[in-house]
């Protein structure tokens, strides 16, 4: 650019001249693509650079306006929400120019703080009335770090007020994330019955008030994914959710099993992750999945604490796990035997990928955590099935007898196994802080070669063994 140009530079190096700069000569669609690469706060700021840029933020079709864009080192919640509410108004209000505008995707995340919610509700309501939105997402958070029961009830009251203030928007909602709310009995069913297009629902650090059982009976719901994180209730009952395909439940506080499945014919992926608590007894997988026969992906994370499932006859599982293709068994505490996992392999005749993660850590242990006990299992003498497993991945591999014997057992039973991956454990803040033992993962090529030789000795397996 010529030296006579008067330039303004921000951290994204947008350059403007007194006359016309190179960037501003680009077509509108290219400039809009540039703005889409910025967060919304910076996109708004570009409007003050020149008249050429002034109306561009109002023409964006893909908007993601997050409260995190307005966080500063010394910003208060009120300051952030004031700036956020102003940004919402600027970006969603009708443009002053005579340009057409269609918002194809709108993602909003903000705190449940008054008096800003009524203004946000009004702006969103007007925006969806004049634009056809293909994707609409709300993420609403209680801003208190450790909320009390009174805080949870207050955030619920504010959300419900916002919910009733813009029914048109919630009718178009695609994804909803809520955090730090105490629900009443009918709240979640009302959300599902009102949000006719809702496909993804995430409830984080929420709880039920009066009724300890979360019942979801939504035969007309479009819900395909449900995420529950630290959800306070005795149990979740999925009575009828016909389009639900994925369930993720992280940390529960009631009795086992944490979920009972009713009519969920399209459920193919289930992820359970939680440390076991002292009052929770291990449960049988056949008990939990008795009504589901389409599962293809199962992820169980024990958080390096007690194993909260107990082995059972594989024949009990075979009708339920006939379509299971991938199993992840994460954070099995390192002192535990591994042979018990074979009941899942034998009970899933179509299983192709198995990933095991071994780890010992006290990070998740509290006074309420259940005591860790070893899990033992002997396969039925008449049930030595050949496995169809093709890939075995072990994270947290160590050269010790029980681990080596387990891998050899899988190699002997999985006649089509073509790849074994042995990896070091994942980084862990708790372990990094304690460091009670030196690393036992082989790092030199001589050690890796010796391990491969030990595993294939006397075996007919042709699996490739990758270490590292």
Phi, psi of 136, rounded to the nearest 5 degrees: -130, 130
**Mean pLDDT on 394-420:** 94
The predicted pLDDT at position 96 comes to 63
**95/216: higher pLDDT:** 216
Residue 428 in any domain: the answer is no
Residue-number span of the structural domain to which 252 is assigned: 202-267
The predicted pLDDT at position 134 comes to 84
Residue 234 in any domain: the answer is yes
Residue 21 has pLDDT above 60, yes or no: no
Task: Domain count for the chain, please give it.
Answer: 1
Residue 249 in any domain: the answer is yes
pLDDT tens figures, 186-228: 899 899 989 999 999 999 999 997 668 999 999 999 999 999 9
Residue 219 in any domain: the answer is yes
Lookup result for tokens 């190096």: 13
Residue 396 in any domain: the answer is no
Q: How far apart are CA 172 and CA 152, in angstroms?
A: 26
Question: Rounded to two decimals, what is the model's pTM?
Answer: 0.86
Residue 161 in any domain: the answer is no
Q: How far apart are CA 192 and CA 301, in angstroms?
A: 28
Residue 176 in any domain: the answer is no
pLDDT tens figures, 285-331: 999 998 888 999 999 999 999 999 999 999 999 999 999 999 999 99
Q: How far apart are CA 289 and CA 300, in angstroms?
A: 14
The predicted pLDDT at position 27 comes to 60
Lookup result for tokens 């949870």: 152
CA distances from 260 to 152, 234, 240, 289, 313 (A): 26, 11, 11, 8, 21
Which of 337, 295, 299 lies closest to 317, judged by CA?
A: 295
The mean predicted confidence, pLDDT, of the chain is: 85
Q: For 230, left (φ over 0), alpha (ψ -120 to 50), or beta?
A: left
Residue 9 in any domain: the answer is no
Instruction: Quickly state the pLDDT bin for 90 (edges 50, 70, 90).
Output: confident
Lookup result for tokens 């991945």: 393
Q: Which of 3-12, 49-58, 451-460 has the highest mean pLDDT?
A: 451-460
The two tokens of residue 399 are 């050269």
């Amino acid at each position: 650019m010529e030296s006579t140009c008067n330039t303004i530079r921000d951290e994204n190096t947008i350059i403007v001249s007194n006359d016309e700069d190179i960037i501003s000569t680009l077509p509108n669609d290219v400039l809009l693509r540039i703005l889409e690469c910025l967060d919304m706060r910076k996109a708004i700021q570009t409007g003050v650079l020149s008249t050429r840029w002034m109306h561009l933020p109002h023409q964006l079709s893909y908007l993601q306006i997050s409260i995190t864009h307005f966080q500063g080192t010394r910003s208060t919640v009120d300051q952030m929400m004031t700036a956020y509410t102003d940004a919402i108004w600027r970006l969603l209000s009708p443009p002053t120019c005579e340009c057409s505008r269609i918002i194809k995707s709108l993602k909003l995340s903000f705190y449940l703080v008054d008096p800003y919610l009524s203004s946000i509700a009004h702006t969103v309501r007007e925006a969806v009335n004049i634009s056809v939105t293909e994707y609409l997402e709300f993420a609403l958070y209680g801003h208190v770090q450790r909320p009390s029961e009174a805080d949870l009830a207050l955030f619920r009251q504010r959300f419900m007020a916002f919910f009733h203030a813009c029914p048109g928007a919630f009718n178009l909602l695609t994804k909803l994330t809520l955090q730090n709310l105490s629900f009443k009995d009918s709240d979640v069913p009302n959300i599902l019955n009102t949000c006719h297009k809702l496909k993804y629902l995430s409830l984080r650090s929420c709880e039920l008030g009066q009724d300890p059982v979360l019942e979801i009976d939504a035969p007309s719901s479009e819900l395909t994914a449900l995420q529950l994180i630290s959800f306070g209730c005795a149990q979740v009952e999925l009575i009828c959710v016909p389009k639900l395909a994925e369930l993720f439940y992280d940390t529960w506080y009631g009795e086992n099993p944490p979920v009972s499945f009713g009519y969920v014919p399209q459920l193919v992926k289930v992820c359970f992750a939680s440390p076991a608590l002292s009052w929770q007894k291990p449960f049988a997988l056949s008990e939990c999945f008795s009504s589901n026969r389409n599962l293809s992906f199962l992820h169980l994370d024990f958080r390096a604490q007690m194993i909260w499932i107990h082995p059972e006859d594989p024949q009990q599982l075979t009708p339920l796990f006939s379509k299971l293709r991938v199993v992840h068994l994460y954070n099995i505490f390192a002192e535990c035997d591994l042979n018990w996992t074979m009941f899942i392999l034998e009970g899933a005749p179509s299983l192709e990928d198995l990933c095991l993660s071994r780890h010992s850590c006290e990070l998740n242990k509290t006074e309420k955590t259940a005591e860790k006990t070893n899990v033992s299992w002997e396969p039925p003498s008449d049930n030595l099935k050949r496995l169809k497993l093709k890939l075995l991945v072990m994270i947290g591999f160590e050269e010790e007898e029980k681990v080596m014997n387990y891998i050899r057992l899988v190699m002997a039973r999985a006649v089509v196994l073509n790849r074994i991956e042995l990896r070091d454990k994942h980084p862990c803040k708790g372990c990094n802080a304690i460091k009670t033992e030196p690393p036992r993962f082989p790092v030199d090529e001589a050690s890796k070669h010796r391990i491969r030789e030990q595993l294939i000795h006397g075996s007919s397996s042709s699996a490739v063994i990758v270490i590292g």
